[in-house]
């Protein structure tokens, strides 16, 4: 590995949590092969059928509480701790496996499954129980506005200004476990590369944006991420 990096940005997607037992979206048995995302991951779907959307996220929340971080999450947390430069994880995932593995410098651009948002007053808070339309917001007291604090299609991802600042400043951009099909995240590699960063893809198979990466390692995250991190730390 040539050159010493100082500012690393990591983008993670569902593939990094696949070996923890959480489903991906677009693989052969992915979530979007079982549910229509328009029904369960859009504001319109929520307005049409709140019980269906709550059931979808309640099942995913229960699954997450039974899951554990894997060796890939652990390797990234180790990188943040041991790397002499700065490491930021931008995750598309709504699970908390990066946190549970020890990552602290983290942006959940698509929100968090273990938080609930009041659509009326905008208050967000940690939430591990089931959500339903019969709940009142602990802040404003109104009933029927509680929703998972996740970003649905058509909604603005969180902390985008900060994300673009960090992409412009990084000298190494590593994409892990994402198909590179959903924007704005799918455009981050081009953004980083335009500002001179080296770009690396770590994924089970070549993603949609594979040609934009100067280096690619393909295989299961629990194998290729620890290998890559130890290479970075041995610089
Ligand atoms: N190790 C590494 N990569 C894996 C593994 C694994 N064990 N298993 C699957 N992958 C890869 C797949 O090859 C695929 O490229 O992870 C990627 C998962 O792609 P998607 O299912 O599209 O998930 P993601 O890219 O995170 O989706 C982006 O779409 O639906 C929205 O908001 C949702 O954040 C999500 C966004």
Ligand 1 neighbours, Cβ below 6 Å, are: 13-15, 18-19, 24-27, 30, 92, 110, 177-179, 181-182, 203-205, 207, 220-221
Give the pLDDT band (50/70/90) at residue 2: very low
Closest-CA residue to 149 (of 110, 184, 203): 110
Give the pLDDT band (50/70/90) at residue 3: low
Is 110 in the active site? yes
93-146 pLDDT, tens digit each: 999 999 999 999 999 999 999 999 999 999 999 999 999 999 999 999 999 999
Pocket test for ligand 1, best of 22, 179, 218 (most atoms within 8 A of CB): 179
Pocket test for ligand 1, best of 24, 67, 89, 224 (most atoms within 8 A of CB): 24
174-210 pLDDT, tens digit each: 999 999 999 999 999 999 999 999 999 999 999 999 9
Q: Does residue 154 register a pLDDT over 90?
A: yes
Q: Does residue 235 register a pLDDT over 90?
A: no
pLDDT score of 1: 45
Q: Domains in the chain, start-ordered, CATH in brackets? A: 1-22+69-110+157-235 (3.40.50.1220), 24-66+112-150 (3.30.1600.10)
Fill in the DSSP letter of residue 122: -
Residue 113 in 3-state DSSP? strand
Atom number in ligand 1 closest to CA 15: 16
- Give how far Cα 107 sits from Cα of 110, 122, 188, Å: 9, 19, 14
């Amino acid at each position: 590995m040539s050159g010493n990096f100082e500012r690393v940005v990591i983008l993670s997607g569902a593939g990094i949590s696949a070996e923890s037992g959480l489903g991906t979206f677009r693989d052969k048995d992915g979530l979007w092969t079982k549910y229509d995302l328009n029904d369960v991951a859009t504001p319109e779907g929520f307005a049409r059928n709140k019980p269906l959307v709550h059931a979808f996220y309640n099942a995913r929340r229960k699954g997450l509480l039974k899951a554990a971080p894997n060796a890939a999450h652990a390797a990234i947390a180790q990188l943040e701790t041991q790397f002499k430069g700065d490491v930021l994880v931008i995750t598309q995932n709504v699970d908390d496996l990066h946190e549970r593995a020890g990552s602290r410098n983290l942006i959940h651009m698509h929100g968090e499954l273990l938080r609930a948002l009041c659509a009326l007053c905008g208050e967000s808070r940690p939430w591990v129980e089931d959500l339903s339309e019969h709940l009142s917001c602990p802040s404003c007291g109104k009933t029927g506005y509680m929703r998972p604090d996740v970003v649905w299609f058509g909604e603005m991802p969180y902390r985008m200004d900060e994300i673009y600042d960090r992409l412009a400043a990084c000298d190494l951009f590593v994409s892990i476990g994402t198909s590179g099909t959903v924007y704005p995240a799918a455009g981050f590699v081009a953004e980083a590369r335009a500002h001179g960063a080296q770009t690396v893809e770590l994924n089970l198979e070549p993603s949609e944006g594979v040609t934009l990466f100067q280096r690619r390692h393909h295989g299961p995250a629990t194998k290729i991420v620890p290998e890559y991190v130890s290479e970075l730390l041995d610089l």
